[in-house]
Amino acid sequence: VPEIILEQPVPREFQPEIVKNLYWLDGGIESFAFDATDGRRLSFGYRKAAVPEHLPLRVKQSAERLARSLRAIPSKTLFELKPANAGCAAPYDQLVQRGWVRPAAHGTHVYRGLFLDLFLALDAQFRQAALRLEAEEYKFPAIIPMETLARAGYLNSFPHNANFVCHLPEQAEAVERFKDRMKSSSPEGATLSLDGFCTHSATALSPTVCYHFYQTHAGQTLPADALLTATALSPCYRYEGKAMRGLRRLREFTMREIIFLGEPTLVQKRREALISLQRELLERCQLHSAIRTASDPFFLDDYDKKRVFQMSFDLKHEVQAWLPEEQEWLAIGSVNHHQDHFGKVFGITLPEGMPAQSCCLGFGLDRWCMTIFAQHGFDPNCWPEGVRVILDAHRRHTAALKTAA
């Protein structure tokens, strides 16, 4: 197991973010571990016996660069809530044992029982909050054109997270050849080889919700003093490689977004409302949590400069919840101010010709639910009143549906 000694110790709160990025250096890396007491010591497991000669140095340089970038502009804390939640041991394992969460394809899960009840109950609250802000409801596709991703800048900032969608060529011989290949291979453990069948893809699975909204309004001129408000609940897909774990990091997760698009001062005002809304819900659910400035998980080479930009202008606020078992913060939501980025790239303008501004709020449903179990345990009767009220409202609604003949 190669061990690397870094110039400076990496604080615990930076370690998960750094590790998540380092996996992208080499597909043979199986795991990373920072020494529990000495943050300078970082070891990694490698799939094959022979570790490529250059790899330890690359790991060292990348880890140091990421740490420098994280250290350079510390995040600001806007709000912190610290109720004395007991927490519970191995929440993910317990959810799986109870059958409420079942791992499916790597990084995806099936939900039912109390976990799903809570998921739907929370979303009913998030949706209600959106409607009170006069959001129009949308239902977006799971698939998104590559063109939209390219325009949004996603394929430049987060190419490693993309999930491409392709299909067989529209050609009978190719389909026959594919069927023959499938007949001769066994389903167990099969990773279908698409070699020679799919060479390009015009679509991907959507990594976020609001791109669809900007695409819908592309090329439009908004009326004076416009503020478009939208909300949608959508599955989001991000390939996270070896960093995928439990419900903490998924390939498919579900997000409710509230999106504002329009006149800069109106958007700015609404952003404040979105931060307050996050805070209110954290208080109702009595979560050990914080709201902090943060940056997006840009790909390795771009990490520094893009982070500096986001952090300098306080463009991203992350809602973080404390995981007692892992002793780690986890982002369960965010509020993002995009300035005129999407207005520009999607050609959405204000009457005077300036690009529209936008901001969005995202609630990560899977992580919200996970956090409530992790902090409040498995007996809903012992949950804080705010959470019980949310759950009961949903259960009453479900019961009413069952009895209404």
The residue ranges that bind ligand 5GP (CB under 6 A) are 208, 238, 240, 247, 249-250, 253, 255, 296, 331-334, 362, 364, 366-367
- Decide whether 51 or 127 has the Cβ nearer to ligand 5GP: 127
Q: Which stretch binds Zn ion (CB under 5 A): 31-39, 90-98, 354-362, 395-403?
A: 354-362
Q: Which stretch binds Zn ion (CB under 5 A): 124-132, 154-162, 356-364, 376-384?
A: 356-364
The SS3 of residue 209 is coil
Residue 206: which of ligand 5GP, Zn ion, none does it interact with, CB under 5 to 8 A by kind? none
Residues 206-245 binding Zn ion (CB under 5 A) are 210
Residue 255: which of Zn ion, ligand 5GP, none does it interact with, CB under 5 to 8 A by kind? ligand 5GP
Residues that bind Zn ion (rule: CB under 5 A) add up to a total of 2
- Could you tell me the smallest distance in angstroms from the CB atom of residue 253 to ligand 5GP? 4
- Could you tell me the smallest distance in angstroms from the CB atom of residue 315 to Zn ion? 12
CA distance 396 to 403: 11
Residue 253: which of Zn ion, ligand 5GP, none does it interact with, CB under 5 to 8 A by kind? ligand 5GP
Q: Which residue is nearest to ligand 5GP (CB)?
A: 364
- Decide whether 230 or 250 has the Cβ nearer to Zn ion: 230
- Could you tell me the smallest distance in angstroms from the CB atom of residue 163 to ligand 5GP? 12
- Decide whether 107 or 364 has the Cβ nearer to Zn ion: 364
How crowded is the C-beta side of 63, counted as CA atoms within 13 Å?
30
- Cα distances (angstroms) measured from residue 339 to each of 160, 257, 267, 285, 316: 25, 17, 9, 31, 11
- Could you tell me the smallest distance in angstroms from the CB atom of residue 361 to Zn ion? 8
Amino acid present at 319 = V
- Decide whether 362 or 384 has the Cβ nearer to ligand 5GP: 362
Q: What backbone phi and psi angles, to 5 degrees, belong to 350?
A: -95, 165
Look at the chain and count its residues: 405
Ordered alpha helix ranges (H), 233-263: none
- Could you tell me the smallest distance in angstroms from the CB atom of residue 209 to Zn ion? 6
- Decide whether 117 or 257 has the Cβ nearer to Zn ion: 257
**Cβ contacts of 320 within 8 Å, gap of 6 or more:** 289, 290, 291, 292, 329, 330, 331, 332
Residue 210: which of ligand 5GP, Zn ion, none does it interact with, CB under 5 to 8 A by kind? Zn ion
**Cα end-to-end distance, the chain, whole Å:** 64
Q: Is residue 315 a contact residue for Zn ion (CB under 5 A)?
A: no
Q: Is 73 left (phi over 0), alpha (psi -120 to 50) or beta?
A: beta
- Could you tell me the smallest distance in angstroms from the CB atom of residue 174 to ligand 5GP? 35
Among 29, 67, 360, 369, binds Zn ion (CB under 5 A): 360
Residue 364: which of Zn ion, ligand 5GP, none does it interact with, CB under 5 to 8 A by kind? ligand 5GP
CB 266 within 8 A of CB 366: no
- Could you tell me the smallest distance in angstroms from the CB atom of residue 392 to ligand 5GP? 24
CB 334 within 8 A of CB 319: yes
Q: Is residue 370 a contact residue for Zn ion (CB under 5 A)?
A: no
Beta bridge partners of 230: 136, 259
CA distance 170 to 186: 25
- Could you tell me the smallest distance in angstroms from the CB atom of residue 213 to Zn ion? 8
Residue 332: which of ligand 5GP, Zn ion, none does it interact with, CB under 5 to 8 A by kind? ligand 5GP
Q: Label the pairing between strands 289-293 and 77-81.
A: antiparallel
- Decide whether 228 or 321 has the Cβ nearer to ligand 5GP: 321
- Could you tell me the smallest distance in angstroms from the CB atom of residue 262 to ligand 5GP? 21
**Cβ contacts of 350 within 8 Å, gap of 6 or more:** 221, 222, 224, 226, 262, 263, 356
DSSP H or E stretch at residue 180: helix 172-183
CB 251 within 8 A of CB 237: yes
Residue 360: which of ligand 5GP, Zn ion, none does it interact with, CB under 5 to 8 A by kind? Zn ion
**Cβ contacts of 161 within 8 Å, gap of 6 or more:** 207, 238, 239, 240, 297
> Which residues of the chain form contacts with Zn ion (CB under 5 A)?
210, 360
